[in-house]
Amino acid sequence: MIQMVDLKSQYLKIKDEIDSGIARVIENTEFINGQDVKDFRTELASYLNVGNVITCGNGTDALQIALMALGLKPGDEVISADFTFIATVETIALLQLKPVMVDVDPETYLINPDEIEKAITPRTKAIIPVHLFGQCADMERIMDIAKRHNLYVIEDTAQAIGSDYHFSDGTVKKAGTIGHIGCTSFFPSKNLGCYGDGGAIFTNDAELAEKISSIVNHGMKVRYHHDRIGVNSRLDTIQAVVLRAKLPHLDEYNNARRTAADYYDKAFANCHKISTPKRAQNTTHTFHQYVMRLNGVDRTALMEHLKAKGVASAVYYPIPLHKQKAFQGFEYNPNAFPNTDKLCESVIALPMNTELSKETLKYITDSVLEFVR
């Protein structure tokens, strides 16, 4: 079976470093906040060119902690995308804030800045753009909107670590380092994944960094002196070992994903029943997922066909967030999200990882085209 991700082959190439690193942590029993965690923070900050990296337990925690650091009040509104993994919007609701969801672009799948601006009210306090599937939302426009309306911006870069955003003045910044706070996940299948759960929060704001460092550790700076309500959210030292081994390869991993995506694009270029994912302007694409749209194709039948051929496929995401049971209390206007509605019905994701050979890609695309003609 050709799986969506292939973590085993990737592991075998860096096995010695990971195995010896994990053995070292066990040997010296530095399980919590070991030296590797500190070193990883420094190395990631340097890679991203950002002032502060605070590690935490997972990407969902990262988003929750970022929101906690802003000191918002119940009922304050936070704008995010309707088409994303639930964690982005779930954390807003969890903190008794009001999740305001907006529609996305039908071709890049990214949050639409015009819709953000339309959704702003006097209670709006923050925007969480999602860099979905590996490319950056239109951060120049989003930062401009945020500045004009005095809003915080938290970037959800769980799917886009390593992506570059190009500003019109020529400045280039890494995804997650543009807004006030950036959040990422090291879930195993993410572009930079560990071997369990992990996450991180980035910021160039020293004051926010201090608050966040305190929140992740029970609101504590001096041991057993608690300055605020916090949480317990940590990156294990063993996970930091894995991430330190992988970080030097991240650009190479992202390039491998782009090469696979280019192959898919070319293979489907002349098939009018497939719309390949559009590259957004001003951003590189790190292809966390390769998500294409089907036009007049029975998706379930195609997925069955692929499965029979030994090719995995998936749907990211099958249900718009505004239709999720969990959000029924918020009474979203069912007609406000035409693009998300259509995407949820028509998207399909093909295997995307760092280990796809030309032969495998040919087999996958041939299998798709056998069914879709």
Ligand X SMILES: *Cc1c(COP(=O)(O)O)cnc(C)c1O
**Residue 365 DSSP code:** H
199 binds ligand X (CB under 6 A): yes
**Which residues does 142 contact at the CB level (< 8 Å), separation at least 6?**
111, 113, 116, 127, 129, 153, 179
CB-nearest residue to ligand X: 59
Residue closer to ligand X by CB (options 199, 351) is 199
Find the radius of gyration of the CA atoms of the chain: 21
Work out which of 10, 58, 135, 353 binds ligand X, going by CB under 6 A: 58
Residue closer to ligand X by CB (options 41, 288) is 288
84 binds ligand X (CB under 6 A): yes
Measured CA to CA, the distance from residue 41 to residue 36 in angstroms comes to 8
Residue closer to ligand X by CB (options 140, 197) is 197
Site for ligand X in 116-145 (CB under 6 A): 130
Stretch that binds ligand X, among 83-91, 117-125, 266-274, 360-368 (CB under 6 A): 83-91
CB of 295 to ligand X, least distance (A): 26
Burial 112-142 (b: 16+ CB within 10 A, else e): bbebbbebbeeebbbbbbbbbbbbbbbbbbb
Which of 341, 351, 340 minimizes the C-alpha distance to 110? 340
CB of 158 to ligand X, least distance (A): 3
Single-letter amino acid, residue 262: D
Tell me the site size for ligand X, rule CB under 6 A. 15
Work out which of 83, 85, 317, 332 binds ligand X, going by CB under 6 A: 85
Q: How many residues appear in the chain?
A: 373
Site for ligand X in 166-195 (CB under 6 A): 185, 187
Structure-block tokens of residue 151: 């809003």
Stretch that binds ligand X, among 21-29, 65-73, 151-159, 344-352 (CB under 6 A): 151-159
340 binds ligand X (CB under 6 A): no
Measured CA to CA, the distance from residue 280 to residue 109 in angstroms comes to 9
CB atoms within 10 A of CB 52: 18
Stretch that binds ligand X, among 52-60, 256-264, 297-305, 352-360 (CB under 6 A): 52-60
Range list of β-strands (E), 132-234: 152-156, 164-166, 172-174, 181-185, 199-203
Site for ligand X in 248-287 (CB under 6 A): none
CB 128 within 8 A of CB 78: yes
64 binds ligand X (CB under 6 A): no
Stretch that binds ligand X, among 39-47, 81-89, 273-281, 307-315 (CB under 6 A): 81-89
| Contacts to ligand X by CB under 6 A | 58-60, 84-85, 87-88, 130, 156, 158-159, 185, 187, 197, 199
